[in-house]
Structure 1
Amino acid sequence: MASNKSARIFCVNTHEYMDVPLGTTLYEIYNQLKPGDITEVANAKVNNIVTDLDYAIFSNKDVEFQGMTCASGMRTYGRSLFFVLSKAVKDLFPGGVIINETMTASGAYCKLEIGQELTDDIIQKLRGQMKTIIDNDFPFVKVTAHTDNAVQLFQQHNHISKVKLLTCHKKLYTTYYLLDGEPDYYYGPLLRSTGQLKVYGLERYNDGLLLRMPQINNPSQLLPFIKQDKMLDIIKEQKEWQKIIGISTIGELNELCRNKRDAINIINVSEALQEKKIAKIAENIKNKSSVRLVLIAGPSSSGKTTFSKRLSIQLVAEGIRPVAISMDDYFVDREHTPLDENGEYDFESVYALDIEHLQRDLKALFDGQQVELPKFDFTTGKSLPSGNKLKIDDKTVIIMEGIHGLNPELTKNIPAEMKYKVFVSALTTIQLDYHNFIPTSDNRLLRRIVRDYKYRNYSAEETISRWSSVIAGENKWIVPFQEEADVMFNSALLFELAGLRTQALPLLEMVPESAPEYSEANRLRNFLNYILPIKIDGLPPTSLLREFMGGSTFHY
């Protein structure tokens, strides 16, 4: 039993109890225990809350050390690496600004604003300065201060986006970090020092910089480079519109949401912009007279179903008769579903679909024959005849929506000119501040938590527990094909996190501290608490957000 001068910790990694003097840091404990399952420690969970390794123990705790091979550890690595890049920019270009815009499949896409054109020489200088900072093994020094003092500090360093964020956050104290005297603020822990950043890259991409990141399954190797030009074009277009209305960060959104009239206006304008883009896609389909099959793909909770319904309405307005065929009805019988590496059914695999049956039906329909569509019974796991017979004419366009819509294997026997491919994703373009982007996967996870509870009776804990396998399936079966799309549609609404907040927070608070999912729920709660709520009473009944929050006039 621990004395009044010590505390007892339980190390989850080694399943050992250990008495430590009060004030002992996690890093000191890690060096004593040396858990064999971690080669390079990034952070730790204390009672299932992620923290940095300088955290000091003053009472009994459960402690789990985390390396780079988990999502939380890689987020810590990414934040620390970006801080080094930001410091390099400040060292070489005082007054310059680096913006961490979004995460791509290869790393963080950043925009550099230094008043001159980005050249290879500038990139080489930044690489050299980053190497110097890393070689010096500077510590990331954590500072806790009154928020008013932190705001003044960031004002002095011209971090205006952080000033706006912290001013709205209303917390008494704020924790920030110093790197060789340069302050910065992140909504998660950093590594102990720059010397831990051994694998990274910096190169030109599009009209910005790509900060290359390690692979989560093999941190000694960089993520492979995957071109995502179409995705970046959509993000760039959205950000240009955001500049016009003056909302690039959560701090700016919070300022606007304080005024009810402005909040209603941003909802109306955001919805109108989406409808305009859907109408344009319908017009493009009409102008390609050879198109008979519209394939809509996208990751989980991207809003594919509502998009397909709204596109159908716009197609009717263009004089086209849309007919929806559900890809989910073409699942193979459950016992024929392929297994994943853990021996579990892999429902995310394209081979969980009866591809031959689907191709046979599509060919028959385009040849003018009548087809009886299948119906998959999810209770019995069997594909059954539906009794629904379909025959189409030259004015009919088939709409198929599903995660595998862009996979060439699915429709390889259909001529390319007959297909129009749409990729739908919630590309969150608003940022917490210029150095903290909001992962698109967080936006989709919050959507799914709200929807699963409302319509499927799943708790937030259950939804979070499945999320890592969902992401793994997307990276394997969806992301590699997204650039195959004829067009990308961004389903994220500028105001939606402020709308989701009210429904998501109570669900996240229900996740018990003892659950492994508590750390992720806590991270999402902390993130949502930066955002002021917005009422969605005036949200249109056909809004894409209604698919998740309820009140839609569409039938799902």
Structure 2
Amino acid sequence: MNVDKLITVNVEGQRLQLPEGTLIEAISDQFQANGRPLIVAAKVARSLRELTTSLTEDVTIEFIDLSNQDGVRIYQRSLLLVLIRAAIECFSDIHLTVEHSLNKGLYVEVHYERPLTDADVFEIRQRMADIIDSGELFMKERVSKAEAAQIFEDLRMGSKKRLLDYRKSDYINVYSLGWMKNYFYGYMVPSTRYLFLFDLKRYADGLILMHPDRFSQFTLPEYLEQEKLAQVYRESETWARILDVSYVYNLNDMIVSGQHPEMIRIAEALHEKKIAQIADQIQKSGKRVILIAGPSSSGKTTFAHRLMIQLRVNGLRPVTLGTDDYFVDRAHTPLDENGEYDFESLEAVDTQKFNEDVTRLLAGETVDLPTFNFLTGEREYNGRKLKIDADQPLVIEGIHGLNEKMTEIIDRQTKFKIYISALTQLNIDEHNRIPTTDSRLIRRIIRDHRTRGHSAGATIQRWPSVRRGEERNIFPFQEEADVMFNSSMVYELAILKKYAEPLLRSIDETCEESIEAKRLLKFLSYFVSIDSDQDVPATSILKEFIGGSCF
């Protein structure tokens, strides 16, 4: 630190004169007031920076805390390194692989000579607490690929070592926590003293790591059993083994060797088989109201079309009914916390009229269907009528399909609920997972640009609002589903890469969204691109986003 030279730091309306070389952490300590979410990083000149960054020129900084998804990622990533080290210190031959979000936490699979007991988990949790209480520092060093390969080999981190084959840079940043060294895709907190809030639970063949999120910034989220979602993840892991693609390096190897066309065909066949099985379940159940719900960019539209084809194969004659036409008039649309129209709220839908019309249709009556005019913001009746026969099920796609309030008048015994989401089964390596939200955001960036002319920046700007709507209106009801469908394709990011990268690079660095764009570009850099789409069938869910769908 140069105490003789002062720099100007603008932060939260204050103008500070500080010695050159001041760490951001020293400034954040002054602003970490009681009642404020934990500060874990900062934005400096539209770039994300760790709190250990020293400032050498006049800047404006904005703190990143646990109310921000970047902040949550940093907290989770740092806590994971503590868990991995603690587990090895307790059981030297143990190996952990980070899998996916589950039960409001993160599921980490345990590979050990025997199943862990509650006493074992307690021991690991206590060791984590000891490391955290000691306030140990997270240290970052730049090493050569050769040095990194030796580190990963010594620690039995095979997928990390193999992924180095596809890294363009000759160097890599490795984090240390005491004796433990590891590579993580993203930043860390300065020390373990930041990680005071966590829990560890035994679950299935592994552990659930609990930590704060954006919606519970000061406490741990309530543990929520999600057995149906867990079952879908287990099925996805089985699919990954069938395809022999569990990590990004496996996918890259197949692309480089030219084996990816067969992998694409198998992946698509697995999708079709699952959809056919769902159609068989519907036919066997005799239920006539088929409700399809899922978060943004999960591929609901293509799934609905493919399901209807399979229902026809089974001799049924399905009919679709849209929920968007049952929006209340714009004047009655509820507002969100920012005073903007909240079209994703259940109150934005005239559920009473929707229930009445569906009930009458099931009774064989002719119903005048509304059409919502999005220009005038009013519901209209233009002579569109519908009457269905007893062998015709109604296929209804909408975000509220799993919420019983959406169809509360309709007998539960006649409803078949389907939850669809892109639950990525592919991970970067043992300890760096691919969040479902990242895959969906990349899908949406590409589709929004192609179909609506939206820039990547506009889609990224809108994404937090979309995510809030999902947390309120979709995710709380996913366990209500009769069946879940995973729309993720193990090969899709290698296809999407060539579409997404130019859109992300077009975001000006002065824009707020450039931070997220840089993160996604870094994420996509791990993948070898599949340059041609010729092997992706026209019925693929992926075509809903890149174009060329037969639907």
Q: Is TM > 0.5 for Structure 1 vs Structure 2?
A: yes
TM-score, scaled relative to structure 2: 0.96
Of residues 179, 186, 189, the one that matches 1:188 is 186
Aligned to 1:119: 117
Q: In the TM superposition, what is the alpha-carbon distance from 1:165 to its structure 2 partner?
A: 1.9
Aligned to 2:107, what secondary structure does the other structure show?
strand
TM-score, scaled relative to structure 1: 0.95
Q: In the TM superposition, what is the alpha-carbon distance from 1:457 to its structure 2 partner?
A: 1.1
Answer whether contact 1:14 1:35 (CA < 8 A) is retained.
no
Provide the rounded CA distance (Å) in 1 between the counterparts of 2:361 and 2:62. 57
Aligned to 1:422, what secondary structure does the other structure show?
strand
Q: Root-mean-square deviation (CA), in Å? A: 1.9
Aligned to 2:416, what secondary structure does the other structure show?
strand
Say yes or no: does 1:270 pair with 2:254.
no
Q: Which moved more, 1:10-19 or 1:154-163?
A: 10-19
Provide the rounded CA distance (Å) in 1 between the counterparts of 2:7 and 2:529. 40
Aligned to 1:351: 347
Aligned to 2:15: 16
Q: In the TM superposition, what is the alpha-carbon distance from 1:16 to its structure 2 partner?
A: 2.7
In the TM superposition, 1:328-347 aligns within 5 A as 328-347=324-343
Provide the rounded CA distance (Å) in 2 between the counterparts of 1:30 and 1:128. 29
Provide the rounded CA distance (Å) in 1 between the counterparts of 2:507 and 2:226. 36
- Structure 2 unaligned segments of length 5 or more: list them: none
Aligned to 1:369: 365
Q: In the TM superposition, what is the alpha-carbon distance from 1:24 to its structure 2 partner?
A: 3.7
Aligned to 1:222, what secondary structure does the other structure show?
coil
Answer whether contact 1:27 1:53 (CA < 8 A) is retained.
yes
Q: In the TM superposition, what is the alpha-carbon distance from 1:144 to its structure 2 partner?
A: 1.1
Q: In the TM superposition, what is the alpha-carbon distance from 1:69 to its structure 2 partner?
A: 2.0
- For residues 498-539 of structure 1, the C-alpha deviation after alignment (integer angstroms, 9 at most, x for no partner) is 111110111111111111111111111111111111132221
Provide the rounded CA distance (Å) in 2 between the counterparts of 1:187 and 1:6. 35
Of residues 499, 503, 508, the one that matches 1:507 is 503
- For residues 301-351 of structure 1, the C-alpha deviation after alignment (integer angstroms, 9 at most, x for no partner) is 111010000000111111000101111111111111112223221111111
Aligned to 1:67: 65
Q: In the TM superposition, what is the alpha-carbon distance from 1:46 to its structure 2 partner?
A: 2.2
Provide the rounded CA distance (Å) in 1 between the counterparts of 2:33 and 2:409. 53
Aligned to 1:472, what secondary structure does the other structure show?
helix
Say yes or no: does 1:91 pair with 2:89.
yes
* CA 39–109 in structure 1, closer or farther in 2 if over 3 Å, else same: closer
Say yes or no: does 1:79 pair with 2:44.
no
Of residues 418, 424, 427, the one that matches 1:428 is 424
Question: What number of residue pairs does the alignment pair up?
Answer: 549
Q: Report the AA paired with residue 16 of structure 1.
A: R
- For residues 417-467 of structure 1, the C-alpha deviation after alignment (integer angstroms, 9 at most, x for no partner) is 211110000001111111111110111111110000000111111111111
Identity %: 41
Q: In the TM superposition, what is the alpha-carbon distance from 1:5 to its structure 2 partner?
A: 8.3
Q: In the TM superposition, what is the alpha-carbon distance from 1:372 to its structure 2 partner?
A: 1.5
Q: In the TM superposition, what is the alpha-carbon distance from 1:17 to its structure 2 partner?
A: 5.8
- For residues 271-301 of structure 1, the C-alpha deviation after alignment (integer angstroms, 9 at most, x for no partner) is 1100000011011111112x11100000111
In the TM superposition, 1:467-486 aligns within 5 A as 467-486=463-482
In the TM superposition, 1:404-443 aligns within 5 A as 404-443=400-439
Of residues 236, 239, 254, the one that matches 1:238 is 236
* CA 434–364 in structure 1, closer or farther in 2 if over 3 Å, else same: same
Aligned to 2:407, what secondary structure does the other structure show?
coil
Of residues 268, 291, 308, the one that matches 2:304 is 308
Answer whether contact 1:95 1:114 (CA < 8 A) is retained.
yes
Answer whether contact 2:200 2:207 (CA < 8 A) is retained.
yes
Of residues 534, 539, 543, the one that matches 1:546 is 543
Answer whether contact 1:51 1:188 (CA < 8 A) is retained.
no
Answer whether contact 2:110 2:205 (CA < 8 A) is retained.
no
* CA 34–404 in structure 1, closer or farther in 2 if over 3 Å, else same: closer
Provide the rounded CA distance (Å) in 1 between the counterparts of 2:293 and 2:32. 45
Q: In the TM superposition, what is the alpha-carbon distance from 1:51 to its structure 2 partner?
A: 2.3
Q: In the TM superposition, what is the alpha-carbon distance from 1:548 to its structure 2 partner?
A: 0.6
Answer whether contact 2:23 2:52 (CA < 8 A) is retained.
yes
Aligned to 1:522, what secondary structure does the other structure show?
helix
Provide the rounded CA distance (Å) in 1 between the counterparts of 2:511 and 2:69. 17
